[in-house]
Amino acid sequence: MQIEKYKISEHNQSLQKEHQRKFEFIAGGIKDAEKILQKLIDFQIAIPSWALGTGGTRFGRFSGGGEPRSLEEKMEDIGLLHALNRSSGAISLHIPWDIPKDAGAIKALAAQYGLRFDAMNSNTFQDQPGQKHSYKFGSLQHVRKEVRKQAIDHNIEVIKYGVELGSNSLTVWLSDGSCFPGQLNFRKAFINTLEGLQEIYAALPSDWKMFVEYKAFEPNFYSTTVGDWGQSLLYASKLGPKAYTLVDLGHHLPNANIEQIVALLLMEGKLGGFHFNDSKYGDDDLTVGSIKPYQLFLIFNELVEGMDARGMDHTKDLGWMIDASHNVKDPLEDLLQSVEAIMLTYAQALIVDRKKLVDAQQSNDTVAAQEVLQNCFRTDLRPLIAEARLRAGGALDPLALYRSEKIREHLIKERGAKTVATGL
């Protein structure tokens, strides 16, 4: 289904008066409000093709109904999100869960919904039906050459799909590692992985980037072969200028200072992209901003400061993607919440008084520095985000409109109550 434009207009008209009052109040206190609004309108967050269905845990999965049954239906869902918030204008595909069988038709569909293709994602963390060699003991790190070759070939195939669709980056996340001491020779595992990545890197088109995503643990629980940003940076540095580190917020050990990691990767020109989610304990993949919103703000503060210091374009020089899972929520509602949280936090980082912060830092005024940051974090910029959405043709309150239009009920009617999307 698609949401008609007049429905969005009617919804906006009903909220316009109250919105205008709130917006004028907040915009009056913000320097360069118009410039910030434009940045918010331009900023787009990619939705991964595996996030449109209900996720699960190893204990079970409780499907919510109306889940997309094909890549086309997944794109339809992202089209709905984008129509509502005008900030979800990109899709990130996972191979082999979402192989585009007819690239031309898929591209045309994307154009119809106003979507572009973000990073392509390979999968060597599962065995697929009919697969010759198992990844039980790793893929690129594997002790046997034929297994490594199979994983390399798969990644090269993913690049080919991406080229057909007009994507220009490949994200490699490996679950490689070991579960018990002694299982693996760390150095050999690293070298095998590096050699595999080098072969994949050599297959990248000239305008492509490779993102090397790290994760501290799970599914391996003793060692992970790309376990942290240091290891990822080591691979990316050895690979060359098209290779970057990708930060997934849930892939750190507890209490890691992610904002500092971001600042240093940006300084080195090696931050490639971002996977947003939130967590309390491990890689919980919860809604962005639902658990640690201040941490998210501190990360965005470093992103904005670091990108501006290097003259980077916020909209396209880094890959922005949500990587979350929804076990008890309607995936589309959850994604609306996540995108809203990202936009809100980005806006808060944009209003940081950089000069005041630098002055406080240079004079060792800890209190003043903290005040500068917390003032922004505690400013309610929701009317500013809503105004950006309004100007871009979206809904003032996307979640409210999603519910009042009974979109999930429509999708269940169209697709059935027992559909299960491909993915985890």
Least distance to Mn ion from the beta carbon of 260, Å?
Answer: 20
Closest by CA position to 273, among listed 296, 247, 234: 247
Q: Which residues from 369-408 bind Mn ion, rule CB under 5 A?
A: none
Question: What's the Cα-to-Cα distance from 85 to each of 74, 179, 361, rounded to whole Å?
Answer: 17, 43, 37
| Contact between residue 51 and residue 326 where contact means Cβ atoms under 8 Å apart | yes
Alpha helices by DSSP H, listed for 292-394, are 293-309, 331-350, 354-362, 366-377, 382-392
Alpha helices by DSSP H, listed for 69-185, are 71-85, 103-113, 145-165
Compare residues 148 and 275 and give the one whose CB is closer to Mn ion: 275
Question: What's the Cα-to-Cα distance from 311 to each of 10, 168, 267, 317, rounded to whole Å?
Answer: 40, 21, 12, 10
Contact call for residue 323 and Mn ion (CB under 5 A): yes
Least distance to Mn ion from the beta carbon of 248, Å?
Answer: 4
Report the distance separating Cα 385 and Cα 40, nearest Å.
Answer: 7
Take residue 25 and report the two structure tokens written for it: 């109040």
Number of residues that bind Mn ion (CB under 5 A): 3
Least distance to Mn ion from the beta carbon of 274, Å?
Answer: 9
Contact call for residue 275 and Mn ion (CB under 5 A): yes
Q: Which stretch binds Mn ion (CB under 5 A): 75-83, 87-95, 273-281, 412-420?
A: 273-281
For residues 166, 167, 169, 174, the Cα torsion angle rounded to the nearest 10 degrees is -130
Compare residues 172 and 411 and give the one whose CB is closer to Mn ion: 172
Report the distance separating Cα 315 and Cα 86, nearest Å.
Answer: 14
Contact call for residue 118 and Mn ion (CB under 5 A): no
Q: Which residues from 236-265 bind Mn ion, rule CB under 5 A?
A: 248
CA angle 278, 281, 283 (to 5 degrees): 55
Q: Which residues from 197-226 bind Mn ion, rule CB under 5 A?
A: none
Q: Which stretch binds Mn ion (CB under 5 A): 35-43, 261-269, 316-324, 404-412?
A: 316-324
Structure-token match 């050990």, residue found:
253
Least distance to Mn ion from the beta carbon of 323, Å?
Answer: 4
Report the distance separating Cα 336 and Cα 328, nearest Å.
Answer: 15
**How far does CA 2 lie from the centroid of its chain?**
24
Compare residues 23 and 276 and give the one whose CB is closer to Mn ion: 276
Least distance to Mn ion from the beta carbon of 249, Å?
Answer: 9
Report the distance separating Cα 182 and Cα 393, nearest Å.
Answer: 58
Q: Which stretch binds Mn ion (CB under 5 A): 191-199, 235-243, 269-277, 340-348?
A: 269-277
Q: Which stretch binds Mn ion (CB under 5 A): 139-147, 187-195, 322-330, 369-377?
A: 322-330
Least distance to Mn ion from the beta carbon of 55, Å?
Answer: 13
* CB contact set of 340 (below 8 Å; sequence gap of 6+): 85, 385, 398, 399
Q: Which stretch binds Mn ion (CB under 5 A): 28-36, 274-282, 362-370, 406-414?
A: 274-282
Least distance to Mn ion from the beta carbon of 322, Å?
Answer: 9
Least distance to Mn ion from the beta carbon of 285, Å?
Answer: 9
Compare residues 215 and 415 and give the one whose CB is closer to Mn ion: 215
Site string for Mn ion, 169-188 (x = CB under 5 A): --------------------
Compare residues 248 and 405 and give the one whose CB is closer to Mn ion: 248
Contacts with Mn ion, residue ranges (CB under 5 A) = 248, 275, 323
